[in-house]
Chains A and B, each alone.
Chain A
């Protein structure tokens, strides 16, 4: 109703319709319009489908398909019990069916265009024909809920999880809206006990402890996203756009960004993606608490990491543990002397998960390389020790610099335009050259530039703030679960949320909605 909340856009947490209509109504109905597990699961599922259909109701069919196929596949599989009557081949076939549906949907909607483009490039090279390129809409959140569905059936197959208690349980797990469109990626085994095995869904009234914590997480995440990430985006998006446009036009003339602008663009994005994504995850955790769910931590001060493997224990934790459990370990993990290979494969595919474009694969490969090298250096005891504060600090800054290199690769292309996949690599190359001052304009030209390419005091302040925050502040989990909440915190939080709401008219999408 307000602003740009038209049905053509997904319902964002930072939107009028969500904050003023959907959330209060869903909360009220969840806690006060009925009670018992069935009511709560039903309401949550219905609300989640409404939430998703706000973007495009047709794509709720994907969630329905995934929910139905997986539920019945796991149900028919039964538990992985030697005494069970189901033949192992039968269970395997059901698993294959489930994986085929989930991966098939993901492959079609997310990767068909990319693979078609790559095939056409090959065919073009061998002077063959051309496959038709279809313009396929990427359903919001498909990367997340298909991964969750895959984890469920594999866990049931392996005997790690029991089949869902009911179709409603599973449908709720797949669709539950706080983490539907951008994670964290949750496992059914984590959520099952919250639905059924403790009394949280059976409570008569809200657990106000949890509601209070939820409000804190929600507003904290909202502030990170709106007051920091989006403000950084206002300043650095024009810089990246200028570089992208120049690359698209064939890199004619001097590169548009000088030394200072390039560093601002890169550092700005480094902090933007952290505050944006961790802010969303905080909001998701907060919303989970409002509805009696405890969602896992997804970020644990990643820029405090002291080496690349530590980084992946702190960044997008739900994805990295997923890749570990369902890709890296099945490949063999660190056994058989193939650890480096397995790391590289895992990270390449992890990069591909982020988007159907070469720059994501290269980004994944970069992190795979970092992990492999870290393993080698650790094996030879060549890593600087973290025992001393100085050693930890140096390791942290070196890791930070290596991560920044990855973000240049990650950001240089336009995720919506697969045609610019290779342009993304070219753009990254020129950004690196600009960072080294080797691409045309120097610092003097950069500071003199007018308009959208100018380096403002605002972005410099934001970058300094970002650096101080990620290096010295506790993260949201350390704050949210440990601080004794007072009423003045509540008042401050309410005012902070109101300030955030004032920015809703100029809202920007969450970066990870594109994945």
Chain B
């Protein structure tokens, strides 16, 4: 190559070359700089992680100073308290938010045994297995587990990994998790640390602990027995009732209009492709479910598996023939696995099977307590409409709670045992 055709537009890197070696030698032939660098890096990292674990602004660590208010660790701590008080529940409900309004009170009435709703949002076989392992570990072996299985609980893409990561926020749950999920989720929790969370954690360490509070937008309120009440949705229904002035037809129409909007929104949000992916069983989830059933069987725990329904309008609008077949195949598979492990399996996807009312849904997937009560009655061989005595209406419970939270507490008295969520 000749250098003849150079141009002022492109010249060689003549500017700002590195200085002569003498300047570089001036740094000194010492590893001390590098050691200080690495040492301060590791010290800073340790400090940041300690601050985050203690202050727990991410809500993903098991902190005594700022305990996580996420469902999984919160409910597990309630269980810990019951076990410590010698009141370990003997009947456990597990499953997703679609099971979180199954009343422990009803189960206690039906079985005569203390019950606890251990359902958590977006629950999947990893949760089932981890929760059972933990119960056994703390000596709280239940006599019966009722599992409310969603049709998408075995889905392949873990789109809701932020829910799974909640398992890290209780040390016992973390240790009860199978590998490699436990390691992966622990890494996920660590990766969730950011500078702003670090600052928030530092503030949480130095600030005073607040009791539960109900913001205007707070919808989900979970009580000490694990039962969930949808505060905003209850109030919305109450308002629809009040506006109908006793006109049942008007009320029904209003409820259906509201439901229709929510179902349409869910169909648009979800989409056919996502639904298909979530109906495709992930081999690992199937394996975890098998491990769960095996563990229960080996410990002589009666397991009643239920496949939960969707609102008929959602089924019609979302599940085409292919997806309906996929759901049916999944049900057959779960039924087979349940039978193999000596568990009962009930397919509740048809509302008629338990006298379910399509108006007793909050949205496309979540049934109201009324429908769930019918379902549980049917599960236990009773008539759907059989009443459960001494059930306080949920709205009354919420009103009482709100009043209690507004009333100044006497010094030393504990706050009500509720967890409030503003995410839904």
Contacts and interface: CB of A to CB of B under 8 A. Distances in A.
A481 B19 contact: yes
Contacts of A504: 191
Q: Chain B interface: which size bin?
A: 35 or more
A196 interface: no
B33 interface: yes
Contacts of A499: 44, 195
Contacts of A487: 32-33, 36
- Please indicate which of the listed interface residues A206, A211, A371, A502 has the most CB atoms of chain B within 10 Å of its own CB: A502
B8 A498 contact: no
Given A297-B16, A475-B16, A494 B44 contact: yes
A296 to B, nearest CB: 7
- The A contact surface, by secondary structure, is helix
Contacts of A490: 32-34, 36-37, 40
Given A323-B10, A504-B191, A485 B33 contact: yes
A2 B9 contact: no
B7 interface: yes
Q: Chain A interface: which size bin?
A: 35 or more
Contacts of B190: 2-3
A309 B8 contact: yes
Contact of A213 (B24, B48, B183): B24
A454 interface: no
Interface stretch (A133-141, A333-341, A422-430, A439-447): A333-341
Given A300-B16, A493-B37, A494-B40, A329 B191 contact: no
Interface in A454-485: 475, 477-478, 481-482, 484-485
B40 A328 contact: no
Contacts of A210: 24
A1 B16 contact: no
Contacts of B8: 309, 375, 378
A475 B17 CA distance: 12
B23 A328 contact: no
A332 interface: yes
- Please indicate which of the listed interface residues B2, B6, B32, B41 has the most CB atoms of chain A within 10 Å of its own CB: B41
Contacts of A332: 5
A503 interface: yes
A158 interface: yes
A211 B48 CA distance: 26
B194 A502 contact: yes
Interface stretch (A103-111, A242-250, A254-262, A313-321): A313-321
Nearest to A2: B187
B28 interface: yes
A333 B6 contact: yes
A306 to B, nearest CB: 12
B245 interface: no
A489 B33 CA distance: 8
Contacts of B2: 329
B423 interface: no
A481 B24 contact: yes
A206 B7 CA distance: 41
Nearest to A309: B9
Nearest to B46: A498
Contacts of B390: none
A495 B44 contact: yes
A386 interface: no
Contacts of B13: 296-297, 300, 313, 317, 321
A333 B44 contact: no
- Please indicate which of the listed interface residues B7, B12, B43 has the most CB atoms of chain A within 10 Å of its own CB: B7
Contact of B15 (A294, A313, A343, A501): A313
Contacts of A339: 7
Contacts of A208: 27-31, 33-34
Given A212-B27, A494-B38, A334 B7 contact: yes
Contact of B1 (A300, A329, A491, A501): A329
Contacts of A492: 40
Nearest to B194: A502
B209 interface: no
B112 interface: no
Contacts of B195: 499, 502-503
B188 interface: yes
Given A481-B24, A490-B34, A494-B41, A209 B29 contact: yes
A478 B1 contact: no
A119 interface: no
B37 A215 contact: yes
A503 B363 CA distance: 37
A68 interface: no
Contact of A321 (B5, B10, B28): B10
A495 B7 contact: no
A384 B60 CA distance: 60
Nearest to B6: A333
A484 B26 contact: yes
Interface in B255-309: none
B39 A494 contact: yes
B26 A494 contact: no
Contacts of B34: 208, 211-212, 215, 490
Contacts of A294: 18
B24 A335 contact: no
26 contacts: A2-B187, A2-B188, A158-B1, A207-B29, A209-B28, A210-B24, A215-B37, A297-B17, A301-B16, A312-B10, A313-B15, A329-B5, A332-B5, A334-B5, A334-B6, A487-B33, A490-B33, A492-B40, A494-B38, A494-B41, A497-B44, A498-B45, A499-B44, A502-B193, A503-B194, A505-B194
Given A219-B37, A324-B9, A495-B41, 5 more contacts: A1-B183, A215-B34, A329-B2, A375-B8, A502-B195
A-B complex: 10 closest residue pairs judged by Cβ atoms: A333-B5, A3-B191, A494-B40, A498-B44, A324-B10, A494-B41, A505-B191, A490-B36, A2-B187, A490-B37
